[in-house]
Amino acid sequence: MSSYSQLYGGNPLPSQQYDSSYSSFQQTEDVRYTPSSLEWGPQAADFVKLYKFIVPKGKLPYLELLEKWTPTYQTPRRVYLDDSKGYEKSQFHCKYPGTCEGKQSVFSRPADLERHYKNVHASNKDSFYCDYPKCPRNQDPFTRKDHCRDHFRDYHKEDIGAAKGEKSSREKDKHKWQKAQKIWLAERNISAKVWRCAKCLARNSVHQGWDCVSCKNTCEEERIRIRQKLAPGRQTPEDPSEVTILDANQYPGPYCGTCNDTTYLNNGSGAYESCPVCQSTPVQYSYENSYPNIYGERI
């Protein structure tokens, strides 16, 4: 019989000592239990199966006993991890008491360790779905928002972020970066009807404005300017050399109230499907000619 089955099977944990005023063991609020203080030892991986692992942002992660189990002196309601600080400076070790399947277990920053706990060990991992219905990641979500953001930028060619090397090139060779940015922008798929929030990744309708309906983050000025040149009533810019719409059939149509012009609908399970009312095709933004960059200069 495995050690786990022995815990709450035929051979339960050491007998509980009950408080006279309570029907079960009560955890003392000012005591912070850890696997070491509870002497879990080699059985730690089995004890962990009785818990769910919670990683609150900016706070200490902890194990919370599942509701179906009764707290005991060796399995209290809440158990914090042992100190993660290593003997060497700037070393933070993974202290999850169960099996660690992560590629890395030692980190140089607490934030990296917290991300490791959240992405590898947390019972309830974050899920970030791609909202393109035919994309494989529509059913296979990312566990990290930054990876999902990279997916929208690199795989679907959305205008989130900027060309690589932005920070260093601005200081060393601004014009070199501007050229790279022009090439990068020429490859983007930009819709005149929708924009994606770079912060929370929600799709927003241009019809509803430039503040994200989900997180209230404001769309970047350059992205607004591009879409305004393509929006109804401004399909012919003051300077025709600034914008070229590749296909007249791609002009934005009437506002769709079914999907709020985002062209996709959540099917209720986290995945997305094409809006049955509007089947719009993204408008391509051509950078064959010059346009004002973020510095107000022509490139």
Supply the pTM of this predicted model.
0.48
Domain assignment present for 73: yes
Token digits for 266?
């959540």
Q: Are residues 13 and 142 in the same domain?
A: no
**What is the identity of the amino acid at 276?**
P
Residue at token pair 């992405």 = 119
State how far the Cα of 252 lies from the Cα of 280, in Å rounded to an integer.
Answer: 8
Domain count, the chain: 2
Residue 189 pairs in a beta bridge with 284
* Residue 296 within any structural domain of the chain: no
Same domain, 145 and 69: no
Are 221 and 98 members of one domain? no
39 with 164, same domain: the answer is no
Domain with 9 in it: 3-121
Looking at the fold, whether 142 and 265 belong to one and the same domain comes out as yes
Residue-wise pLDDT tens for the chain (299 aa)? 433 333 333 333 333 333 433 444 555 556 889 999 999 999 998 999 899 898 888 888 999 999 989 999 999 999 999 987 766 677 899 999 988 888 888 898 888 898 888 888 877 677 788 999 899 998 888 878 888 999 999 999 999 988 776 555 455 677 788 888 888 888 899 988 999 999 999 999 999 999 999 899 999 998 999 888 875 534 333 333 343 333 323 334 445 655 655 565 666 555 556 665 555 433 333 333 333 333 333 33
